[in-house]
Amino acid sequence: MAAPLLHTVVPPQGSVPSSPEPYYLPSGAEVSIFAHCHALELAVMLKGPTGCGKTRFVEHMAWKLKRPLITISCHDDLSASDLIGRFLIRHDGTAWQDGPLTRAVREGAICYLDEVVEARQDTMVVLHSLTDHRRSLPIDKTGESLVAAPGFLLVISYNPGYQRMLKDLKPSTRQRFVALDFDFPPASREAAIIERESGTDHGTAMALVSLGQRLRALRDRGLAEVPSTRLLIAAAALVVSGIPIRQACLSAVVSPLSDDEALVSAMRDLVDATF
Ligand code: ADP
C-alpha cells in the first residue's frame, strides 16, 4: 500500500531558531479567522482551486502560530493505517510506528490534509473524533486513545471545482469544519505575488496576470483546469532565466493545461494577442 507523501514543512520556532517567514499575501480576513480557529480548537477547511495559495497560507500560519506543520497529500489509496501508524516487523519482534496524523496529535502540530476528498471514506472517519470536543484519536491496534496535545489543529483542503469531489465530501464531515474560501487574487495582488515569487518586473507580471484572466475565461469553453497563480509564477521564472515570454507561456501555462487541440490553439491565440 502506498505510504502518504509526508513532509514537515515548518519546524516549531524555538527548537529551530531561524526558519524564515513563508511569504503570503492575504486577500481577506483569512489570517485572523484561522488564528481564532486555532485558539478555539476549531478544525478548518480551505476551499479553492489548485494553485491559488492554500498550502502557502497554511505554511504561513504555522510559522505565525509557532506550530510544527505536518502535511499529508491525500490520494485514493490512503488508508487509516497510513495516517495513524502500523506495527513494523523487525528482527527482534514488532515495533509500533506512528503515522503522520498520530505524530501531529502527539506533538500539537498543525496537520494539513491536502486534497482530502481524494482519500477513501473509511480514512476520513478517523478524523471525526479529532474535530469535536473529544479531540482524541483512537488507535485500535494499540488500544490507545490519544488526546490531542495543545496547539493541535486539523486543516483540510479541497477543490470544489470537481463535482465528483463535492459529492464525496459527506455533509457529516463538512459540518465539522470552519470553511475559508480561496480564489485567485485580484489582478494587482496576483501581480505582486508573481513579482515577489519569480523576481520578474511589474510590467511582465501584469501582462501574465492579464493572460491568466483571459485563459480563465476559457473555463466556459471546456477548459477543466484553468491557469493557477503557480503556473503564472513558473512562466515568469522562465522569463527571468532568459526564455522569451511567448515560449515561456506556451511551455509553462498552455501546454500543462490541456491536450485538446482546439483548446490549445485558442490558448495560443490568447498568448499571441497578449504579447
Ligand atoms: P494550493 O495549495 O492552493 O494548490 P499553493 O499554496 O501551492 O496552492 O500556491 C501555489 C504558489 O502560488 C505558491 O507556491 C506561491 O508561490 C503562490 N501563491 C499563491 N497565492 C499566494 C499568496 N496569496 N501569497 C503568496 N504566494 C502565493
Express each pLDDT in 148-180 by its tens digit: 999 999 999 988 876 554 456 777 788 899 999
From ligand 1's centre to the CA of 185, what distance in Å? Answer: 10
Grid cell listed for 257: 493545461
Q: How far is the CA of 42 from the centre of ligand 1 (A)?
A: 23
Residue nearest atom 19 in ligand 1 by C-alpha distance: 53
Q: How far is the CA of 88 from the centre of ligand 1 (A)?
A: 37
User: How close is the Cα of 134 to the center of ligand 1, in Å?
Assistant: 33
Could you give the 3-state DSSP secondary structure of residue 2?
A: coil
For a mutational test of ligand 1's pocket, the pick from 27, 34, 56, 233, i.e. the residue with the most ligand atoms closer than 8 A to its C-beta, is 56
**Residues near ligand 1 with C-beta < 6 Å?**
23-25, 48, 50-56, 185, 193, 197, 229-230, 233
For position 271, what pLDDT does the model report? 97
Local structure of 55: helix, strand or coil: helix
Specify the pLDDT at position 14.
41
Q: State residue 105 phi and psi, 5-degree precision.
A: -65, -45
The ipTM value here is 0.99
Helices 229-240, 187-198: axis angle to 10 degrees equals: 50
Looking at residue 13, its pLDDT comes to 45
**Which residue carries 501508524 as its cell?**
85
For residue 111, which of 159, 78, 148, 160 has the smallest C-alpha distance?
148
Pocket test for ligand 1, best of 27, 229, 240 (most atoms within 8 A of CB): 229
Q: Ligand 1 atom closest to Cα of 114?
A: 2
Say how many Å lie between the CA of residue 184 and the centre of ligand 1. 9
Q: Which atom of ligand 1 is nearest to the CA of 46?
A: 3
Q: Is the pTM of this model over 0.80?
A: yes
* Residue 222 pLDDT: 84
For residue 8, what pLDDT is reported? Answer: 47
Q: Is residue 149 helix, strand or coil? A: coil
Length of the chain in terms of residues written: 275
Distance 73 CA to ligand 1 centre (A): 16
Q: Which amino acid is at 220?
A: D
* Pocket-testing residue among 27, 52, 194, ligand 1, by greatest number of atoms within 8 A of Cβ: 52
Q: List Cβ neighbours of 269 (8 Å cut-off, separation of 6 or more).
A: none
pLDDT of the residue at 15: 44
Low-confidence ranges of the chain (pLDDT < 50): 1-17, 165-166
Nearest CA to ligand 1 atom 20: 53
Measure the CA–CA gap between 225 and 8, rounded to whole angstroms.
28
